[in-house]
Amino acid sequence: MISFELVTGDPALPSPLRSRPPERSPLVVGAVQCAWNPDAATHERRLVEGVRLAADHGAQLICLQELTLSPYFAVNEELAAAADRYREAIPDGPTTQLAHRLAIETGAAVHASLYERAHDGPGFNTAICVAPDGRLLARTRKLHIPAFPGYLEHLCFAPGDTGFPVVEVGPASVGFPTCWDQWFPELARAYSLAGADVLVFPTAIGSEPEHAEFDSQPFWEQMIAANGLANATFMVTANRVGVEHGTTFYGSSFVSDPYGRVIVRAPRDRAAVLVAQLDLDQRRDWLNFGLLETRRPDLYESLARPAGDPHPEIRR
């Protein structure tokens, strides 16, 4: 019996700037949203069920949540201090092996997330993608590391060093940043300039321990969709649900298009599988509006300065 809610997007959502027929095949993406289960075998069975459901509905790329096989262990200092048990190697660790097995079984590319072991020092929060033939297509380390109550990732992870790699998944060019990277417009712009059609964000976000009444979900969704709008990219997020060590994860996984429109969204509190067909020529249509060509990078020097640095004198 399938225990995921299936949510499918509308493939007919039009491209308002279309001036010529599509030139590319669409990409069908899937995203699996579920709660972490402390029983490892049960948790893996749930993930397998979700991936198979997405593949059965045509998904060519199937995306899983941040730290796919583990709890979100950056909630507090005690859990973060004990997180070494979740470190894994690539490609021999359990997350990469699971993605490898599912990619070969389903014929879809499978994306996942893990705590990557480093040769020395702290490890990395790393997203991977495995091709249908079992090749490791992508290994992208999270660049921006949160360091505030409830999300103490600086105690576990080193900042990523892999930059903004874009890989080919079926007909699409795809980038695989992670969670907190969602909030940085510079990152989305860098990926867009590198040619990304789609950005995938494995995610773990929910309640704020010091602001119990604050619900960041609407702001989170708006920020990601707006970054897609500013850069003509599809955005795919796979969040988790459930309660872990006092944090309530709010699900709401979604896919948005290059016009910033959410085309499919999961519920806040239930396991769900999203499936959406992406009209990749929407990126071409929107970019024909001049979004990237009319930039002024000669004026953007201040964007590379650390926060708090004085601004250069304004010359008139």
Identify whether 66 is a catalytic site residue.
Answer: yes
Active-site pick, 66, 88, 116, 244 = 66
Alpha-carbon distances, residue 151 vs 12, 55, 112, 222 (angstroms): 38, 32, 20, 20
Q: Is 61 helix (H, G, I), strand (E, B) or coil?
A: strand
Question: What gap in Å lies between CA 49 and CA 43, rounded to an integer?
Answer: 10
Identify whether 142 is a catalytic site residue.
Answer: yes
Helix axes 217-231, 185-193, angle to 10 degrees: 30
96: left (phi over 0), alpha (psi -120 to 50) or beta: alpha
Identify whether 179 is a catalytic site residue.
Answer: yes
Residues 125-148, buried b or exposed e (16+ Cβ, 10 A)?
A: bbbbbbbbeeeebbbbbbbbbbee
Active-site pick, 116, 129, 142, 244 = 142
Residue type, 210: E
Question: What gap in Å lies between CA 230 and CA 192, rounded to an integer?
Answer: 9
Q: Which residues, 6+ apart, have CB-to-CB distance to 214 below 8 Å?
A: 208
CB atoms within 10 A of CB 24: 14
- Just list the catalytic residues: 66, 142, 179
